[in-house]
Amino acid sequence: MTATQPPAVRVERAGEAEWRIAELLARMTLEEKIGQLTLVPGGGGHVPPSLAEEIRAGRIGAVLNEVDPGTVTELQRLAREESRLGIPLLVGRDVIHGFRTIFPIPLGQAATWSPALVERGARVAALEAAAAGVNWTFAPMVDIGRDPRWGRVAECLGEDPLLASRLAEAMIRGFQGEDLAQPGSIAACVKHFAGYGACEAGRDYAATSLPETELRNVHLRPFRAAVAAGVASVMTSFSDVNGLPATANPLLLRDILRREWGFDGLVVSDWESVPQLAVHGLTADDRASAREAALAGCDMEMTSRTYTDHLPALVRAAEVPPAQLDAMVANVLRTKLRLGLLERAPALSVTLPAPLNDAHRAAAYEAAVASVVLLKNDRAVLPLDPARLRSLAVIGPLADDGHEQMGTWVFDGRAEDSATILPALRARAGEQVEVRYARGVDTTRSLGQEGFDQAVAVAQDADAVVLCLGEESILSGKRTAARTSGSPGAQAALVARLARLGKPLILVVLAGRALALAEVVPQVDALLYAWHPGTMGGPAIADLLFGVSAPSGRLPVSLPRAVGQVPIYYAQRRTGKPAWPAQVIPLDAIPARAGQTSVGNTSYHLDAGFTPLYPFGYGLSYTTFGYAALALSDTVLRRRSALVVSVEVTNTGPRAGEDVVQCYVGDPVASLTRPVRELVAFARVALAAGERRTVHFTLTAADLAFHGRDHRLRAEAGEFRVWVGGNAEATLEARFHLVDDAGHGDLAR
Ligand code: BGC
């Protein structure tokens, strides 16, 4: 595996940098070295005397969660002017989907399938965070999200390694800019390395069991892409991966990340994940935890102090070799050098744009529009036409809640800065349309039905009903957010009650995950899945509902029918008894006292079948798209050459729209069984009504490569299938062969 080759000029600078690092290391005491490996929380708007003292003494290398510009300036001044070596601090913050201007949650951004929009969102976030003195964000999170019970799927970039890779690269470009040392660039941190998303049953922090082939072919791919894209840092996962917690996992941190991928940036633990090695049961005490984490290659410890407390003795006793300590410190110093911190005084640049300015809000609006997925639109109830409406009922606790629409992992956004749905709908509807609101339920979790009558009263006189339901921010994200049910509280009952009125019923779901909505969907006429859309969610949703813009989001995850189906994702392996629609026997068709073998003999759930409610990649618009004339430039692909897949995409409907054309590949026979199909390329295309365009995808053997039985990456010769269309169930198919040339080597994807 090779990382991207840096251009020559960088090599020269890298040489200088290494010299500089060696020179600094030679001047550092043991305590100062360990100080560089120490990341502690800031005081939140002031500098606690103990923190000031530690910074002066060189015992702190980085601070997190301090965003008061004056305080950050003072912290940096202490490090630069009052510590012996004057090394500035890394200042970290979870800038996950915006700083003051909040963009859709990462899962929503993934629904845009647009690297350009994702890059712009990260750029805006970086500019706003840098203005507060932050120089390091703990994003992107690229854990593969195949289990919506896990609350942190909200933060990830979907279920697919290729989509997550392309969007992670874009996010890194946005955060880090052309040059990390430029004002407005901040260091990115790809996390959580690795396997966090595969925690058992979606319970946050639970153990992960992943065969190495699966780890490499699925979960590590976006990390490798992030490293190749030049990500500055990597955060270890809380997970116990196959019995070795990630923070002390030499296979992950040393063999794969450093040796195979050539990563030379900074590896940071997750919050207290070093002492937690003892809680996992890998070590007996903090001393052993510090040793195991350091030996595995975890450079910096987040918030806990086992390195401070135990590394001095461990190094003196040569249990951690001095060379290992120096390598860890060098990784931190290299990151600071790349940020330009050792070259110039870290100043809060007055030239950076003000947060929440019009351009930033416009970018958040565009991202929100593109993130919303239209899943159902019977009888074309959408878009609403203000000229034909007399009155509109808006119902639901999420219709006018600036806090909830921002979503999880927001520390610096403010509810009062959010533009919510209800006023945006009022503005779009115009004065001729009476817009009436009822909450329906108190919160999305409430079980009480006291508000139903008022909701019905509002809805029964309206020409159409917009229901804004789903889950509050706190129900996704970390800690408490693992959930096992579909839509929470009394919301499904509210939908059922309103559905009885027979009015056009439009459900807008705001949620941090794929909810199981099989029972709700048949009762509504239209369904817009809006995730948690951020600061500009209100205008974005109102404009979509009124057709000022057309929906163009596509699902970055499969939407399950029932929670019992999860994990359900399109790129599953085949099994020896694959399910087949004709073989699925509905539960009520099974005769009483059926014999053992009479209930089919394939892989599916009796009460949910084997397909999701909506597949990965799915999404409608206010127009329709057709695919035809799938063609390959050749029937044979040689290693080292390329194959062009082309398809004609036509806007077959009445108005302009954007489609996401998706290309999937399947490897029917391989030395390790492969997923039924895998996304290899995609393109967002804008088409006027009636317009036809030919879309080309270029494939090489690298797109077909996988880690085989020996864990090496290579593509195997043989037949491949390719499908192109609008979601993971695309049926337009072609075939080609990958053929061997003499002397090929292993191939990176
Ligand atoms: C989370 C990380 C986060 C860190 C710092 C941890 O609890 O798992 O994702 O970056 O805290 O806030």
Domain with 377 in it: what CATH number?
3.40.50.1700
Q: 470 C-alpha to center of ligand 1: Å?
A: 25
Atom of ligand 1 nearest to the CA of 189: 10
d(CA 305, CA 38): 7
Which pLDDT value is given to residue 487? 78
d(CA 590, CA 582): 14
Which pLDDT value is given to residue 606? 87
Rg of the chain over CA atoms, in angstroms?
27
Which pLDDT value is given to residue 345? 63
**713 pLDDT higher than 50:** yes
Q: Looking at ligand 1, which residue's alpha carbon is closest to its atom 10? A: 138
Q: 352 C-alpha to center of ligand 1: Å?
A: 27
Residue 371 lies in a domain: yes
**200 pLDDT higher than 90:** yes
Query: Does residue 513 sit in the same domain as residue 639?
Result: no
Residue 90 lies in a domain: no
Which pLDDT value is given to residue 480? 52
pLDDT band at 81, cuts 50/70/90? very high
C-alpha 695 chain-centroid distance: 27
pLDDT band at 590, cuts 50/70/90? confident
pLDDT band at 714, cuts 50/70/90? very high
Residue 263 lies in a domain: no
Contact 741, 640 (CB under 8 A): yes
d(CA 189, CA 227): 10
Query: Does residue 388 sit in the same domain as residue 532?
Result: yes
- Region of 157 please: left (phi>0), alpha (psi -120 to 50) or beta: alpha
pLDDT band at 599, cuts 50/70/90? low
| 581: three-class secondary structure by DSSP | helix
Which token pair is 470?
């789903």
Among 137, 191, 271, which residue has the most ligand 1 atoms within 8 Å of its CB, making it the best to mutate?
271
- Identify the H or E element spanning 91: strand 90-93
Task: State the number of CA atoms in the 13 A half-sphere of 492 facing the CB.
Answer: 13
Q: 271 C-alpha to center of ligand 1: Å?
A: 6
Q: Looking at ligand 1, which residue's alpha carbon is closest to its atom 8? A: 270
CA distances from 443 to 399, 430, 440, 459, 516 (A): 11, 28, 9, 19, 19
pLDDT band at 580, cuts 50/70/90? confident
Q: Looking at ligand 1, which residue's alpha carbon is closest to its atom 6? A: 271
Which pLDDT value is given to residue 4? 39
Protein residues with CB under 6 Å of any ligand 1 atom: 94, 138, 191, 270-271
Which pLDDT value is given to residue 8? 44
Q: Which residues contact 34 (CB under 8 A, 6 or more apart)?
A: 59, 307, 308, 311, 312, 325
Q: Which residue is associated with the tokens 């020559």? A: 8
Query: Does residue 675 sit in the same domain as residue 541?
Result: no
Query: Does residue 641 sit in the same domain as residue 503?
Result: no
Atom of ligand 1 nearest to the CA of 191: 9
Contact 536, 642 (CB under 8 A): no
**326 pLDDT higher than 90:** yes
* C-alpha triplet 407, 613, 382: angle, nearest 5°: 70
Contact 503, 524 (CB under 8 A): no
d(CA 147, CA 159): 9
Q: Supply the CATH number for residue 701's domain.
A: 2.60.40.10
Q: Which residues contact 708 (CB under 8 A, 6 or more apart)?
A: 213, 670, 671, 672, 714, 716
**Treating both helix axes as pointing N-terminal to C-terminal, what angle do 322-338 and 8-27 enclose, rounded to 10 degrees?**
130
d(CA 736, CA 721): 7
Q: Is 460 exposed, middle or buried (0-12, 13-18, 19+ CB in 10 A)?
A: middle
- Give tens-digit pLDDT for 365-398: 999 999 999 999 999 999 999 999 999 999 999 9
φ, ψ dihedrals at 344, nearest 5°: -140, 160
**479 pLDDT higher than 70:** no
Which token pair is 716?
């195997």
CA distances from 24 to 312, 330, 337 (A): 19, 9, 12
Helix, strand, coil shares of the chain, percent, nearest 5, are 35, 20, 45
Q: 270 C-alpha to center of ligand 1: Å?
A: 6
Instruction: Find, among 305, 310, 270, the residue nearest to 291 by Cα.
Output: 310
Among 63, 64, 65, 94, which residue has the most ligand 1 atoms within 8 Å of its CB, making it the best to mutate?
94
**96 pLDDT higher than 50:** yes
Atom of ligand 1 nearest to the CA of 92: 5
Q: Specify the range with the lowest mean pLDDT, choosing from 14-18, 146-150, 710-714, 741-745.
A: 741-745
| pLDDT (mean) for 134-140 | 98
d(CA 31, CA 286): 18
Which pLDDT value is given to residue 350? 58
Atom of ligand 1 nearest to the CA of 155: 9
d(CA 701, CA 716): 9
Contact 85, 59 (CB under 8 A): no
> Which residues, in sequence order, are bridge partners of residue 179?
none
- Give tens-digit pLDDT for 672-684: 999 999 999 999 9
Contact 99, 129 (CB under 8 A): yes
| DSSP, residue by residue, 445-512 | T----TTHHHHHHHHHT-SEEEEEEE--GGGSSSGGG---SSS-TTHHHHHHHHHTT-S-EEEEEE-S
d(CA 42, CA 65): 6
Q: Looking at ligand 1, which residue's alpha carbon is closest to its atom 7? A: 271
**Treating both helix axes as pointing N-terminal to C-terminal, what angle do 322-338 and 306-316 enclose, rounded to 10 degrees?**
130
| 732: three-class secondary structure by DSSP | strand
Q: Looking at ligand 1, which residue's alpha carbon is closest to its atom 12? A: 94
d(CA 103, CA 377): 26
pLDDT band at 540, cuts 50/70/90? very high
Query: Does residue 385 sit in the same domain as residue 514?
Result: yes
Share of the chain above pLDDT 70, in %: 95
Residue 606 lies in a domain: no
| pLDDT (mean) for 292-320 | 98
Atom of ligand 1 nearest to the CA of 139: 10
d(CA 6, CA 128): 28
Which token pair is 274?
């070093």
Write down which residue in 497, 521, 545 finishes a domain. 545
| 377: three-class secondary structure by DSSP | strand
Instruction: Find, among 290, 289, 298, the residue nearest to 327 by Cα.
Output: 298
d(CA 247, CA 270): 8
d(CA 375, CA 621): 9
Which pLDDT value is given to residue 602? 87
Q: 238 C-alpha to center of ligand 1: Å?
A: 10
d(CA 28, CA 20): 13
Average pLDDT, rounded, for the chain: 94
Measure the CA dihedral 457/458/464/470, to 10°. Answer: -100
Q: Which residue is associated with the tokens 């290309």? A: 663
d(CA 277, CA 301): 12
Residue 389 lies in a domain: yes
pLDDT band at 347, cuts 50/70/90? low
Q: Looking at ligand 1, which residue's alpha carbon is closest to its atom 11? A: 271
- For the chain, how long is the longest CA-to-CA vector? 83
CB atoms within 10 A of CB 320: 23
For residue 341, which amino acid is it? L
For residue 701, which amino acid is it? A
270 assigned to active site: yes
d(CA 481, CA 463): 37
Instruction: Please state whether the peptide bond connecting residue 192 to the residue before it is cis, i.e. omega within 30 degrees of 0.
Output: yes
Q: 100 C-alpha to center of ligand 1: Å?
A: 19
- Identify the H or E element spanning 323: helix 322-338
- 94, 204, 240, 270: the catalytic one is 270
Which token pair is 633?
């430039």
Q: 146 C-alpha to center of ligand 1: Å?
A: 20
Q: Which residue is associated with the tokens 């950076």? A: 352
- Identify the H or E element spanning 375: strand 373-377
Q: Which residue is associated with the tokens 């269309």? A: 725
Contact 117, 367 (CB under 8 A): yes
Looking at the structure of the chain, the number of domains it has is: 2
- Give tens-digit pLDDT for 270-288: 999 999 999 999 999 999 9
Residue 380 lies in a domain: yes
- Identify the H or E element spanning 131: helix 115-131
| 154: three-class secondary structure by DSSP | helix
Query: Does residue 541 sit in the same domain as residue 633?
Result: no
Give counts: helices (H), strands (E), the chain.
19, 26
Residue 270 lies in a domain: no
Write down which residue in 510, 527, 545 finishes a domain. 545
Write down which residue in 493, 519, 545 finishes a domain. 545
Instruction: Find, among 398, 406, 470, the residue nearest to 438 by Cα.
Output: 398
d(CA 189, CA 266): 9
Instruction: Find, among 386, 263, 277, the residue nearest to 334 by Cα.
Output: 263
Query: Does residue 517 sit in the same domain as residue 633?
Result: no
Query: Does residue 515 sit in the same domain as residue 404?
Result: yes
Residue 419 lies in a domain: yes
**166 pLDDT higher than 90:** yes
Strand 189-193 and strand 642-651: the pairing is unpaired
The residue segments making up the domain with residue 489 are 365-545
Which pLDDT value is given to residue 587? 82
Instruction: Find, among 275, 15, 234, 252, the residue nearest to 140 by Cα.
Output: 234
Atom of ligand 1 nearest to the CA of 303: 5
